[in-house]
Structure 1
Amino acid sequence: MYPKTQKCIKLKREAGIFTGVAYHFFDGQEEEQHVIGEAAVKPELEKLTKDHLFDVASLTKVICTTSVILRLIEQDKVVLDAPLVTYLPDFQDARITIRHLLTHTSDIVTWIPNRDQLNQQELRQSYLQLKAGECLGRSVKYTDAGTILLGFLIEEWYGETLTTIFEREVLQPLQMKQSYFPPLAKELLVVPTEQLTDGTVLRGVTHDPKARVLGQHAGNAGLFTTIDDIVLFVRMYLNNTGDYLKQSTIAMLQKDQTPNGKGARSLVWDLKGSWLFHTGYTGTFILMNVVQKKAMIFLSNRVHPNDFREGYIKERNEIIATYLDEIAFENVL
């Protein structure tokens, strides 16, 4: 399945863009999965398997935070165009709505002085004091702040810790039994991420520094999961039975949801034409077309042991372009 895309992935791995990758294709009723390369190169080589957990970084946004918010909207417990302060009274800017946060159109000024020196409670308070900029609702600017604040909203609504809510409202209903939040059990196979300046290799510890501090309260990152569990999540979208998310909700996600309808963003999901798309900083992405019943999951260890982000983005986009071109050629035939 998709030989040109697979060749492209293989060449990227051989070039050292990432040392290990697990990827999965969906095409109608057919599926195909491959796991190649190493999970780790430091402190020693370790072969990657389908049972390895990846720190999927911002895929946490679409798998967990977005799923819970969408279900609250379906149940009329949250209104898309209501101000965040309606549900999170401690937030300071009454102009910012749920839609702004979900579409990255809040133009929120995210600079927090001495952010990396703050403890969990101090960082939470700093997020509650953020304000919108002059382009509120008019321009798309990707930020972690939106899903962090939505995570606080979810905790406020349920009166529970966010990761506890994610486990009950997302992981259990979707049967994602190989998905966890730190602290992880020592016996689990985990793909390491970056080597810090002191030589420490992060393994089973959230790569994103903000989510690392916020811990069980982080809505932007923190999920560790396997390729097979993300298959279950994507299959829910592609099967579109209405058992988890309503069919009308998934149909709505395929349309531009920015306030002016010109931002090419759905609710948290990015839009590539008719494709839903989201990445994770550590080297992950989900790309899917619900109408065509096609999708690609890509989990790599691209930040291990070093983070070369700019170069990686170019290489990742070439993989995606090859995949979409291959599908377009098939459709012509």
Structure 2
Amino acid sequence: MRMYAKTLELIEKKMPHVFPGAVIRFIADGAQATYTLGQASVLPKPEKMTTTHLFDIASLTKVICTTTVILKCWDQGILKMEDPLNKWLPEFKDPVVTIKHLLTHTAAIHTWIPDRDRLTAQELKKAYLGLASDGSAGQRVQYTDTGFILLGFLLEEIFQQPLIKIFQEEVLDPLGMSNSGFPPFSKEQCHKIVPTQKQADGQILRGITHDPKARILGVHAGNAGLFSSVDDLTRFVQALLMNQPQKHPLFSEGIIDALKQPQTKGDRLRTYGWDLKGPTLQLFHTGYTGTFMLVDLRQQRAFIFLSNRVHPYDQREAYIQHRDEIVSSYLKESQT
């Protein structure tokens, strides 16, 4: 019998018109079920999807890397959630915005940057540090990349290292996520990577970060840029679920307890870094390229979804509706 059969059937019905291919893993009751569907690539030639393919997981970088390292720093007493960002980064002049605001997408920062995609990494960093809130920080949830880009700069200030080196040493290496990493990739490595969008000049991105801001910021990007596989993401999820003994636990009980608690009010509940979904407040996060994860800390269950929905073309609005249907189906099925 297939695990979460109704959700899996729904996903299969959406292929290939919503996404050419997908890798799905369900984790429940100490068991795993993995399903590999469709094509990893359709252009320039068809290529069958496998579980060993790496995906540009886009904004999942926010929770796997940036949020995790911030929480470790908080747990170790290095920083406080109430710390103003400009305590650590004086170049950021707004004294109101706190680390908690950034982690919960409640900073209310005006995010528009003129000619953003034409700036150098140094110019873009300066532009982000020049932003400010609109005076309503903490009052509403508004999802942006800006908060996590700023949190990335904060981590570089604390560790005095490029951000991707911090992520490697603090998250990927301790969990044995040996197939995960950041560009640049060798030609041989790129063959294992699922391509994303066809660009205006005809180039198909493969092994190059899809998000333009993260592409410019490179080793300093806290919002996107991680490439990973279903097996490596499972290692991360299992660390969250704390169902496998770790020599060096990544998540203390204090961190797990904090992640279970909503840090916002109203109809958009978020905890540190993550959205919260369903009656058991499952951790939820998406990636623009067609990825998402649901992790139920209370019921010890998880759903990892990796697709190449931007390959070769981006049809975001249509995809979001399909994605939400898949998530709703899983939430309903996981409660039966």
Q: Does residue 249 of structure 1 match 2:255?
A: yes
Q: Does residue 230 of structure 1 match 2:233?
A: yes
8 Å Cα contact 1:171-1:177 kept in structure 2: yes
8 Å Cα contact 2:53-2:194 kept in structure 1: yes
**CA distance in 2 between partners of 1:248 and 1:317 (Å):** 31
**DSSP 3-state at the match of 1:13:** coil
**DSSP 3-state at the match of 1:187:** helix
Q: Which amino acid aligns with 1:190?
A: I
**DSSP 3-state at the match of 1:297:** strand
Cα distance per residue 1:54-105 (max 9 Å; x no partner): 0000000000001100000001001001101111222121110000000000
Normalized against structure 1, the TM-score is what?
0.96
Normalized against structure 2, the TM-score is what?
0.95
Q: Which amino acid aligns with 1:291?
A: R
Q: Does residue 267 of structure 1 match 2:272?
A: yes
1:318 pairs with one of 314, 325, 331: 325
CA apart distance, 1:111: 0.3
**CA distance in 1 between partners of 2:158 and 2:61 (Å):** 19
CA apart distance, 1:251: 1.5
The equivalent residue for 1:66 is 67
CA apart distance, 1:134: 3.1
Q: For residues 85-234 of structure 1, what are the structure 2 equivalents within 5 Å?
A: 85-188=86-189, 189-234=192-237
8 Å Cα contact 2:86-2:93 kept in structure 1: yes
**CA distance in 2 between partners of 1:257 and 1:281 (Å):** 24
Q: For residues 28-67 of structure 1, what are the structure 2 equivalents within 5 Å?
A: 28-67=29-68
**DSSP 3-state at the match of 1:135:** coil
Q: Which amino acid aligns with 1:223?
A: L
**CA distance in 2 between partners of 1:19 and 1:59 (Å):** 20
1:9 pairs with one of 11, 31, 42: 11
**DSSP 3-state at the match of 2:188:** coil
**DSSP 3-state at the match of 2:148:** helix
CA apart distance, 1:135: 2.1
Q: Does residue 290 of structure 1 match 2:276?
A: no
CA apart distance, 1:8: 0.7
Q: Which amino acid aligns with 2:272?
A: L
**CA distance in 2 between partners of 1:288 and 1:158 (Å):** 29
CA apart distance, 1:261: 7.2
Q: Which amino acid aligns with 2:259?
A: L
**CA distance in 2 between partners of 1:64 and 1:298 (Å):** 18
8 Å Cα contact 1:265-1:271 kept in structure 2: yes
Q: For residues 299-310 of structure 1, what are the structure 2 equivalents within 5 Å?
A: 299-310=306-317
Cα distance per residue 1:274-333 (max 9 Å; x no partner): 11100000000000111101110000000000000000000011111111111222xxxx
CA apart distance, 1:44: 0.6
**CA distance in 2 between partners of 1:34 and 1:262 (Å):** 33
Cα distance per residue 1:162-194 (max 9 Å; x no partner): 001100000000110000100012212110000
Cα distance per residue 1:124-143 (max 9 Å; x no partner): 00000000013211010000
The equivalent residue for 1:328 is 335
**CA distance in 1 between partners of 2:236 and 2:46 (Å):** 30
Q: Tell me the matched-pair count.
A: 327
Structure 1 residues without counterparts, runs of 5 or longer? none
% identity of equivalent residues: 51
8 Å Cα contact 2:164-2:182 kept in structure 1: yes
List structure 1 segments (4+ residues) > 6 angstroms apart after TM superposition: none
**CA distance in 2 between partners of 1:50 and 1:96 (Å):** 41
Q: Which amino acid aligns with 2:222?
A: G
8 Å Cα contact 1:256-1:263 kept in structure 2: no
